[in-house]
Chain A
């Protein structure tokens, strides 16, 4: 089960945080979830679901036997 975490920035910060799944910018808060032992930062719960149902199986498929 994931949770929302705020992104703390300073006024001079220019580097913007991307979602670990889709790559889009996350403006103010991240959806943080544990996926197979790794803590990942998503833009939304929708992206966590996409990661679990698409990216993880893709990587398994691509991994050498």
Chain B
């Protein structure tokens, strides 16, 4: 299927357009490098849980790089609504607006956006923005990921759009107010300043670009690039057969009430437009797996970019043909004061899979089976016994991704809403009083299929000498029929799990068994002490196609490498080897 429209159908030479587009992307990449080198927390300099974007002065996103899809999409709304709410005339050179309000475009409350206007010869040319997940922002749980939160106030300090920097002068009163409400204020200072630093780099590079080509030329080029992206996306959508495609999936519980939560989507292809309607999903739930509008929209865009040509320049033009309906007050569009911290990590990847699952009958060569779809959020903090300093960390694991018609799923990859990385064991053990006992791929966790689902991981950590750690978790796909689904006869992926072995115990048990939590996968503020061990199992991805049709050499190799056990190979794949 070739749908590539002619680039440069406007007035600017296609080569120059490509140069400008690459310049926008590279400015964003340089912002990212600034972040990784200057931030204080591993979630930024190791985990890469942030995104950098450029906007014009009308609120159109004109450039982004390979950061977290969830944040990139949410930034569309964050910047546009912030500019609209504050008024475009309120921005002055050197200002930085900070905001993390999940009801104003944000993905969830830990995600802090900083936005800086870029002036050129005294005129507002555009905005540069950075969205990053701060590892600790207060609230009821250390690490600010309260899996049993029932309202936003328990999730951390909520900040509407405010000028934290005015004309390049820090508003220290606001800084003090914010840091007084976070458990690790020094990290807050370092991390937000790293974000702000990336904005200054972007502003400098953007002005160099304007100096080189002229302001009007760059504006025109950005407009042409958006029109080009729109034409290309419309052509891609038009190539999908018209019709209505539906899909339903569930989450195992919301962390507060032990009942499954329903999600439903109808994808309508109507010529060159796509309408993605979440009507039919459960009403907003008490626990924090509700998605914000930014999350649901981000999931839709994420899914669409997965099944369309990856070369489409990622700017606002590409989003224009996609219409999203997310009824307020449902799990796909939380309203105040509902909690939503887990919506970004647990719900987003399932919504992505649902959109691609709905389109699977007509796009089988482009879709994948479901992924593990849990970030396996593990939050912990306490006073470090060696330094006496308070620490807190937000940790996420890679799960298995779904298999495709042409390949196995990826192993141990962070959920589809983030291009984040796992944190190296060495960083963990240097910074925190936890020793890693095991870190491995989980045998048999990939759903069996002609192509096999990717494997999840197992990580076992032991609480170090003299330490007391307060831990919280937010996992999913740990029980019942909620595993990652397969396609075309492919089997579901393996379960995720979080279990604990108290010092002196001989086996791992669930948290409800040991601590009486409501949910086995979602709980808050459990105190662990020296010698206790926590085992994190990340779920595997679904398989694609009948496992008995899998290439026999591939099955034998899986067994040799310990990816599939001999028992599973015989039972599921019909393997006859020894």
- Report chain A residues within 8 Å CB of B104: 16, 25, 27
Question: In the complex, A15 Cα to B328 Cα: how many Å?
Answer: 12
Q: Cβ of B571 < 8 Å from any Cβ of A?
A: no
Contact for A23 among B81, B325, B336, CB less than 8 A: B325
The verdict on B93 contacting chain A, using a C-beta distance below 8 Å, is no
Question: For the complex, is A2 an interface residue (Cβ under 8 Å from B)?
Answer: no
Query: Is B268 a contact of A54 with CB atoms below 8 Å?
Result: yes
- Report Cα–Cα, A56/B242, bound state, in Å: 19
- Among A14, A27, A28, A54, which residue has its beta carbon within 8 angstroms of that of B275? A54
Assuming the contacts A18-B333, A23-B328, A50-B275, asked whether A28 and B268 have C-beta atoms less than 8 A apart, the reply is no
Judge whether A15 and B325 touch: CB under 8 Å.
no
User: Is there a chain A Cβ closer than 8 Å to B42's Cβ?
Assistant: no
- Asked whether A35 is an interface residue with its Cβ less than 8 Å from the other chain, the reply is no
Cα distance, A58 to B279, chains bound together (Å): 11
Residues from chain B with Cβ under 8 Å of A23 in the complex: 293, 325-328, 333
- Cβ–Cβ contact A25 & B325, under 8 A: no
The answer to whether A27 touches B268 (Cβ under 8 A) is: no
For residue A24, which residues in chain B have a CB less than 8 angstroms away from its CB?
77, 293, 297, 324, 326
Q: Which residues of A are found within 8 Å of B275, using beta-carbon distances?
A: 50, 54
Q: How far is the CA of A54 from the CA of B273 in the complex (A)?
A: 11
Residue interface bits A1-38, CB-to-B below 8 A is 1, else 0: 00000000000001110100111110110000000000
Please, which residue of chain B has its CB at the minimum distance from the CB of A46?
Answer: B323
Within 8 A of A (CB), among B323-367: 323-328, 333, 335-337
| Chain B residues whose CB sits within 8 angstroms of the CB of A27 once the complex forms | 81, 84-85, 104
Q: Is B103 an interface residue, CB under 8 A from the partner?
A: yes
CB pair A25 B103 closer than 8 Å: yes
CA distance A37 to B297 in the complex (A): 30
Bound Cα distance A25, B294 (Å): 10
Minimum Cβ distance to chain A for residue B466 (Å) = 44
Is there an interface contact between B323 and A54, defined as CB atoms closer than 8 Å? yes
Q: Which chain A residue shows the least CB distance to B293?
A: A24
B325 surroundings in chain A (CB, below 8 A) = 21-23, 50, 54-55
Could you tell me the distance between the alpha carbons of A15 and B335 in the complex, rounded to whole angstroms? 8
* CB within 8 Å of A: which B78-133 residues: 81, 84-85, 103-105
Chain B residues with CB under 8 Å of A18's CB are 293, 328, 333, 335
Within the complex, what minimum Cβ distance (angstroms) separates B120 from chain A? 26
The distance in angstroms between the C-alpha atoms of A54 and B275, with both chains bound, is: 8
A25 to B328, CA, bound (A): 9
* Residues 46-60 of chain A, each 1 if its beta carbon lies under 8 Å from chain B, else 0: 000010001100100
Interface size class of A (residues with CB under 8 A): 10 to 19
CB-CB under 8 A from A55, the residues of chain B are 325
Nearest-CB distance from A24 to chain B (Å)?
5
Residue numbers in B under 8 Å from A58 (CB-CB): 277
Residue of chain A at shortest CB distance from B333: A23
Do A28 and B84 have beta carbons less than 8 Å apart? yes
Q: Which residues of A contact B270 (CB under 8 A)?
A: 54
Are B84 and A16 closer than 8 Å at their CB atoms? no
The answer to whether residues A25 and B323 also contact, given A16-B104, A18-B333, A54-B275 and a CB cut-off of 8 A, is no
Cβ–Cβ contact B326 & A16, under 8 A = no
Taking CB atoms, residues of chain A closer than 8 Å to B323 are 22, 50, 54
Least Cβ distance of A56 to chain B in Å? 13
Smallest CB separation, B196 vs chain A (Å): 24
Q: Which residues of B contact A25 (CB under 8 A)?
A: 77, 81, 103-105, 293
Which residues on A sit within 8 Å (CB–CB) of B85?
A: 27-28
What chain A residues lie within 8 Å of B336 (beta carbons)?
Answer: 14-16
> Whole-angstrom distance between the alpha carbons of A23 and B336 in the complex?
13
- A55 to B77 CA separation, bound complex (whole angstroms): 23
A21 contacts across to B, CB distance below 8 A: 325
Q: Which residues of A contact B297 (CB under 8 A)?
A: 24
Which chain B residues numbered 278 to 305 have a C-beta less than 8 Å away from chain A? Answer: 293, 297
Complex Cα distance, B333 from A27, in Å, reads 16
- A22 is contacted by which of B81, B105, B326, B335 (Cβ under 8 Å)? B326
- Residue of B277, B326, B328 with most chain A CB atoms under a 10 A cut-off: B328
Question: How far is it, in angstroms, between the C-alpha of A14 and the C-alpha of B335 when the chains are bound?
Answer: 10
Q: Give A16 to B327 CA distance when docked, in angstroms.
A: 14
Whether A22 lies near B84 (C-beta < 8 A) is: no
Q: A15-B335, A50-B325, A54-B277 are in contact. List 13 more A-B contacts (CB 8 A).
A: A14-B337, A15-B336, A16-B103, A16-B336, A18-B328, A18-B333, A21-B325, A23-B293, A24-B324, A27-B85, A27-B104, A50-B275, A58-B277
Q: List the 6 closest pairs (A to B, CB-CB), nearest first.
A: A27-B84, A18-B328, A23-B326, A27-B85, A23-B333, A27-B81
What are 28 pairs between A and B in contact, CB < 8 Å?
Answer: A14-B336, A14-B337, A16-B104, A16-B336, A18-B293, A18-B333, A18-B335, A21-B325, A22-B323, A22-B326, A23-B293, A23-B333, A24-B293, A24-B324, A24-B326, A25-B77, A25-B103, A25-B104, A25-B105, A25-B293, A27-B81, A27-B84, A28-B84, A50-B275, A54-B268, A54-B275, A54-B323, A58-B277
